[in-house]
Structure formats: C-alpha cells, structure tokens
Chains A and B, each alone.
Chain A
Amino acid sequence: MSAVSTRAPARADRTTDRRPAAERGRRVRERQWPAYVFLSPWMIGAVVLTLVPMAVSLYLSFTDYNMFDPPRWVGLRNYGDMLTQDPRYWRSVGTTLLYVVVAVPLKLALALGVAMLLKNLARGRAFYRSAFYAPSLLGASMSIALVWRALFNDGGSVSGVLDTFGIHTGSWVGNPHLAVYAVVLLSVWQFGAPMVIFLAGLQQVPPDLYEAAALDGAGRWRQFVSITVPMLSPVVFFNLVLEIINSFQVFTPAFAISGGDGGPADSTLFYTLHLYERGFTASHMGYAAAMAWLLLIVIGVITLILFRTSRSWVFYADEETR
C-alpha cells in the first residue's frame, strides 16, 4: 500500500514529463471539432455564396450569356470588345478615375484635418468623434443618396444657399459638369471613418517627440511635417488603400443620384454602374462578368503598386529601432 503510494507520485512525475505534448495535441484536436461545427454555417456560406459564384462568374466572363439562352463560349471576346469596341467603357473608366483622384485626397485631407482639431480638444471629444463618424454609417444607404439627390436638385437647398451668395449653379444632378461632384461630396461627407483611425493614430504618437521638438524651437508646422506626418504614415497608407479600393466600387450614390442610368450624358457613369447596366438592363451577363474580373485585377494591381511604393514613404517606428 505504502509502496504503491510512494511509487505513484514518481510515475505521475514521469508521465507528466513525457505526456504533455501528445495529450495537449489530442486535447486540442478534441477541442477543435466544435469550432468547425460552429464555423460550418460560415464555411458553407463562403463556399456556396462566394467561391462557387466566383468560379461561375469567371466562366461566364468567357461566354456570351443573356440569361435566356445557355452561355456560349466566346473566349476572350468580351475582354476584347470592352477594350476596343465600347466607347462607354472608357468613359466609365475616365469618370471612375476622376472620382478616385478627386474624392480620395479630399476625404483623407478633411479626415486628417478634423482629427488634428479633435486631438487637442479638451472636452467633448467623444461626442464630436461620434457625431463626425455618423455619416459613415449612414452614407452608403439608398435613402441618404436620395436625400442627396433632392439637396442638389433644382430648387434643392444647395443651389438655394449658393444663390444667396450670388452663385447660380441651378441643379447639380441635372448638369453633366457638376453631377459627378455631387457624388464626390457625398463621399467626402463620410470622412468620419478615416478620421477615427487618424485620431487613434495621432494619440499613438509619443508626446515626448513633440516636447523635444518644442524645446529645440520647432513651430507647429515644423512639428506637423517632421513628426506627425512620418509617425502617422502607416495610418495614412492604410486609409489610402481602403479608400482607393472603396472608391473604385462606388455604386449606390451614383445609381440613386442619376436615377440608375449614369446620366446626365454619362457624367456619373461609374465603372460599376456601366457593369450593372450591361448585365441587368442590356442582358449581357458574360460581358458584365468580364468587366467585374477586370476591375478586380486592376484594383489588385493598384493595391500591389501601393504596397511596393509604401516602402519608400511609410515609416514604421518599430523598424527604425531594430
């Protein structure tokens, strides 16, 4: 009895030395299956609703498919037609690029500016942060786009207010030179999301850097250029990538503001709107699928280029110390 009792601890000691890895591995495996069970709704969804449709879409992009007759294999013809036969394709590319080039910098500049103001705010920062963030939650909705349309329409508030200052614009949404800027403003108005990220980034900048700079006699501008900008560059980069990707896909505001046709005179015909029209109005689903794939590739390439160039201008504090 005593012999057993004295040997038992020894064996227990040995086994605890030997067993942990195997036992832990088995325990982990035992613990993993419930995870997969709980994940399965998502995984089934991802396969059925994302992967399979992606594969079908890729296939359709090489076919002539009008939703009535079975798809007919045409090889690369959709891609060829897009680039050489469709003048509106290039118009839509131009409009989208204009939008990206104007809306993204404006939105980020405003977001950074407001974040700088809020950073130094002693009281009520949480309130203002939420207030400025709210449009980002609402902005993508159809109802806001419709409100926007009303605001910029003939007799809407915007032209009314501008009239009192002697600026006669008339309807923005009915004017092919201004309509795209109504969409740009709707995007800029949603600066709250990048602003919140900028604000968090600004708070991460060590205050001693500013103190040291101030002691050395650096002014506010100097501090901004030499401390804030480099320290914030990873956040700028992150916001830039996000906003560019989002901007290439702008759809709802243009759809609502133009009444679905990219008008007037194709001035709000964004890439996605042209894609939608080709697919769902003109029933050229194969062509629309090809457009979607080309957009995916272009966004991928632009993102890749951004990541490559980022090495030369994005400053990571932790890398410097290494």
Chain B
Amino acid sequence: MSEPLSGRRRLPRRRAVLAAAGVGLSTALTAALTACSAAGVGTTSQGITLTFSWWGNDDRAARTEQAVQLFEKEHPGVTVRTSNAEFGSYLQKLATQAAGGGIPDVAQLDYRQISQYAAGGTLRPLGEDIGNNTIRTSEMDRPFLRTGTYKGEQYALPMGRGITGYAYDSALYQKAGIPTPQPSWTWQDWATANRKIAALGLKSPDGRPVTGANDGGGNQDVFETWLRSRGKQLYAGQSRLGFTEDDLTAFWTFCDTLRREGAIAAAEDTAQAKSTETSPLGRRLAAADYTWDAPFPGYTALLGDAVHFAPTPSTDGRQGSYFKPSMLLGIGAHSKHPKEAAELVDFLLNDRRAGDILGFTRSTPPNRVIAARVAKTLKGPEREIYQYAQTMEQYGLGAPPTAPPRGDVAINRAFKRTYERVLFGLATPRQAAHELIEEARRELRS
C-alpha cells in the first residue's frame, strides 16, 4: 500500500486541495501582484518616458510602431514605451493594471470599457486638453465624439469608425432573383431573401442545405440594429435598459421562426461560429453573415470576389446601424506626464503623416480630412467598405448612443448564451427574454 501512495500521485492530493483554494486566490493574487506591475512611468535622465499600450494584429502593430517613432523624432527627450497584446488578454491585463493603481499613460480602449474605467477614476478627463487645443477635435464629428463620454465628460477619443452590415454572396442572391440590397430594404425583405435562398435547395460542400444567412439572435449588435430601426435603444442613458421583454421576445421569435423554417443557419452551426472561417458563410452554409466592416476583407480573401457588403435591413426605411468606435484612446488618470500623453493622442489622431502610416488599420479614421486622404489609396474590399460607410452616411443614420453602461460586458455575454437556450429548445423566446432582462437588471444594479 505504501509503495504506490508514496509515488508521484500523492503530490496531486495536496496540490489539488491548494488548487481549489488557488482558483479563488488568483483573484487576490491579481490585486496583490499588479501593484508591482503598474505602468512603468518615470522621468529618465534623457527626459520623459511615456507608456502606450494597444491590441491588434501584426499589421496594426508595425504601423503603430512606425507612427510612434515619428512622434519620438519630433519630440526630442520623449521616449514612448509601447506594448501590444491580443484583444482577449489585453482587456484583462488592462483591468488588472487599473486595479493595481494605474493603466499606461496612453491606452487603446474598447467601447465597453469606457464607463467602467471613467467611473472608477482610471481615466483622465480630457476636457481641458481639448479646450486648450492640445488635442484637436475640429475635424471629427461631434455626435461621434460623444461615444467617448461618461456622464457628460469626455474621457476617451475614438480611433476608428466602424459600422456593421451583411457580407453576402452576390452570386447566390442573383441565382435566387433577389435584387441588390439597398439601405432602405427592410427586415421583412431580408427574411424573404433568406427564404428564397433556402428554397433553391442548394447543398454546401459537406452536403447540408444552404440557408440565407447566419442566425443573429445571439448577437447583441444585431438586436441593437433591429431595435434602433424601430426607434428604440439598447440602453436608456447609462444605467437602464432601453427595451422591454416584449421587444426582445419579438426579436427572438423572429429569429427562432426563420431558423425553424430553415431560412437561416441551423443551431449547431450558430453555436460553433467563432470566426470568419467557422461562420456559416465562411463554411458556405449560408449566403450572408452579419459582420463589422473591418473584418469584411477577410471574407473576400476566403470566398472570392462575389462576396460584397450589404446594408443592414431597416424598418420602414429607418436604419438601425450607426457609426461605432472600433476602439478609443484614453489617458491614464495617474499619468505623470499628461501634457505629453495628450500630445501623443493628438498626434495619432490628427497628424497627417501619422494618418498616412496608420491607414485603415483601425477602421475609418475619425478625422474626416485624414479619412478622405487615405481613402484615395484604397483598393478592392477596403474601398468597398469605405464607400459603404459613405453611402450609409448619406442615407442618414441615427446618432450613436453614449458609451454603454459598465454592466454591458456581462450583459453582452449573457445575451449570446441566453439565446442559445432558445436555439436548442431549452426555453421559449419569452422565457429566455424574461431571463435575460432579469440578469441584465442585476448587472446594471451592481
């Protein structure tokens, strides 16, 4: 007996018990350790060191580094220490830095972080810097700037302007006799188009029927687009829901019915869609996929030039889409060099040469002059999304809402998994809507 017990398997017992505790302890660890890792800000003998962090792919990283180097050259004595991460880990890293007492001097932020970071005193209010023109905003749209505000105060500035639409296979649409979608097409037109495509009876490469589009029931963005087209909002201000249980029930019933008819993607395909490649359109299981403009070129790269970008459907001509900041830029509240940090922010957003270097790597630049300048050099799918944004702007879109409330990160996740209960028949649309609203209220209260 003693022989096997003294082997290496005894260790796991102790380790296992500790690990159980450890799971919770990592929480505490995080708080304890980040005190040491708080942004390394300090005056060096040569001058000033700024820290700047962002997330993104290699292309964005290379372009950002290049722009930063230009900034350093023009501001002798200022060194910018950059750090780049992948989106998922970036948000957690920034949150732990915030908990530990400070984020970097300049940080790229997600729309959903603004309220939490502003309310928690992590971000520096930018009113003063904008007032004395250290950060220029004259070439940006006022309503769009509002996306970086919390309780009326500007805390961050958008770095890119994104919009949603449907990437769709125009060849399939033609085959089914569906006219090219216009900004005025309605959700009913969209539903009919999906039914027509399903009626073609085509088979995907793995032998399953081709449907009209992906099932957007679990996507809070689709719901918001649908809701806004009906004159409502996701949030009323920054503390309450802007929709009722009936609204959500109607939306989920709409999606649920289409899916049951086979007009949109099947439940299992929706559940495993996590990227362009695994989306129903990417797997050629559907003719269209709801997506943001920035990832759209990925679809044409994967599926060919027949894929185009269609407007989101409207309700009686009223569009629900709006320009959303793909990411924002803020300054840490504890920055020791707020003036230089503000100069860097201004440089990244407004300098012509920085604009040329950065291009459309963060969607359309919010500075109109720079956007127009860079747009001239665009080709193919990138040109298409730029023109799409122009078309939608001319058609007329509602003003964007202010930054979502602090519970939005959790509500967004809840939205997806609560709809999954409808997808797999574990709840009716009404039951699920009731559940979601209960949970959302709890998140908004806390």
Using CB atoms and an 8 Å cutoff, list the residues of chain A in contact with chain B: 49-50, 52-57, 60-61, 64, 66-69, 85, 87, 153-155, 170-171, 173-177, 193, 196-197, 200-201, 204, 234-235, 238, 241-242, 245-246, 248-249, 251, 259, 261-266, 272, 275-277, 279-285, 288-289, 291-293, 295-296, 299-300, 316-317
Q: A67-B99, A204-B1 given as contacts; is B13 within 8 A of A299 (CB)? A: no
Which residues of chain A come closer than 8 Å to B23, judged between CB atoms? 249, 251, 272, 275-276, 292, 295
Which residues of chain B come closer than 8 Å to A170, judged between CB atoms? 268
**Which chain B residues numbered 238 to 274 have a C-beta less than 8 Å away from chain A?**
267-269, 271-272, 274
CA distance A204 to B1 in the complex (A): 7
Which residues of chain A come closer than 8 Å to B99, judged between CB atoms? 67-68
Which residues of chain A come closer than 8 Å to B12, judged between CB atoms? 242, 246
**Which chain B residues numbered 31 to 69 have a C-beta less than 8 Å away from chain A?**
31-32
CB-contact partner of A242 in B16, B18, B407, under 8 A: B16
Shortest CB-to-CB span from A185 to chain B, Å, is 18
Encoded as 1 (CB less than 8 Å from any A CB) or 0, chain B from 90 to 129 comes to 0010011011000000000000000011011110000000
Taking a contact as CB atoms under 8 Å apart, the answer to whether B271 and A263 are in contact is: yes
CB-based closest 3 A-B pairs = A292-B24, A68-B120, A56-B28
Which residues of chain A come closer than 8 Å to B410, judged between CB atoms? 281-283
Which residues of chain B come closer than 8 Å to A155, judged between CB atoms? 206
Interface residues on B, range: 35 or more
Question: Which of A175, A200, A248, A265 has its CB near the most chain B CB atoms (within 10 A)?
Answer: A265
Taking a contact as CB atoms under 8 Å apart, the answer to whether B268 and A52 are in contact is: no
Q: A174-B271, A201-B1, A249-B23 given as contacts; is B120 within 8 A of A265 (CB)? A: no
Could you show 17 A-B contacts with beta carbons less than 8 Å apart?
A: A53-B26, A54-B21, A57-B25, A64-B446, A67-B98, A68-B121, A154-B268, A155-B206, A245-B17, A248-B20, A249-B19, A249-B23, A261-B417, A264-B420, A283-B116, A283-B410, A292-B24
CA distance A85 to B18 in the complex (A): 28
Q: A174-B268, A263-B417 given as contacts; is B122 within 8 A of A68 (CB)? A: yes
Shortest CB-to-CB span from B267 to chain A, Å, is 8
CB-contact partner of B424 in A246, A264, A285, A300, under 8 A: A264
Taking a contact as CB atoms under 8 Å apart, the answer to whether A249 and B420 are in contact is: no
CB-contact partner of B20 in A66, A249, A283, A288, under 8 A: A249
Shortest CB-to-CB span from A179 to chain B, Å, is 9
Which B-chain residue is minimally distant from A271 (CB atoms)? B23
Taking a contact as CB atoms under 8 Å apart, the answer to whether B442 and A85 are in contact is: yes
Given contacts A174-B267, A238-B4, 16 further A-B contacts (CB under 8 A): A50-B18, A57-B24, A60-B28, A67-B98, A68-B121, A69-B119, A197-B4, A235-B1, A235-B4, A249-B16, A265-B421, A272-B23, A282-B409, A296-B24, A300-B17, A317-B1
CA distance A296 to B442 in the complex (A): 26
Which residues of chain A come closer than 8 Å to B417, judged between CB atoms? 261-263, 265-266
CA distance A64 to B122 in the complex (A): 18
CA distance A78 to B326 in the complex (A): 35
Taking a contact as CB atoms under 8 Å apart, the answer to whether B24 and A61 are in contact is: yes
Taking a contact as CB atoms under 8 Å apart, the answer to whether A289 and B27 are in contact is: yes
Q: A53-B25, A261-B417 given as contacts; is B424 within 8 A of A284 (CB)? A: no
Which residues of chain B come closer than 8 Å to A153, judged between CB atoms? 272
Using CB atoms and an 8 Å cutoff, list the residues of chain B in contact with chain A: 1, 3-5, 7, 9, 12-13, 16-32, 92, 95-96, 98-99, 116-117, 119-122, 206, 267-269, 271-272, 274, 406-407, 409-410, 413, 416-417, 420-421, 423-424, 426, 435, 442-443, 446
Which residues of chain B come closer than 8 Å to A57, judged between CB atoms? 21, 24-25, 27-28
Q: A197-B7, A282-B443, A283-B95 given as contacts; is B272 within 8 A of A173 (CB)? A: yes
Which residues of chain A come closer than 8 Å to B26, judged between CB atoms? 53
Which B-chain residue is minimally distant from A293 (CB atoms)? B24
Which residues of chain B come closer than 8 Å to A204, judged between CB atoms? 1, 3-4
Shortest CB-to-CB span from A253 to chain B, Å, is 15
Shortest CB-to-CB span from A28 to chain B, Å, is 25
Which B-chain residue is minimally distant from A173 (CB atoms)? B272
Q: A69-B120, A289-B24 given as contacts; is B416 within 8 A of A261 (CB)? A: yes
Taking a contact as CB atoms under 8 Å apart, the answer to whether A54 and B28 are in contact is: yes
CB-contact partner of A285 in B4, B22, B27, B416, under 8 A: B27
Which residues of chain A come closer than 8 Å to B421, judged between CB atoms? 265-266
Taking a contact as CB atoms under 8 Å apart, the answer to whether B24 and A266 are in contact is: no
CB-contact partner of A174 in B28, B269, B426, under 8 A: B269
Which residues of chain A come closer than 8 Å to B443, judged between CB atoms? 282
Which B-chain residue is minimally distant from A203 (CB atoms)? B3
Which residues of chain A come closer than 8 Å to B24, judged between CB atoms? 57, 61, 275, 288-289, 291-293, 295-296
Which B-chain residue is minimally distant from A272 (CB atoms)? B23
Shortest CB-to-CB span from A282 to chain B, Å, is 4
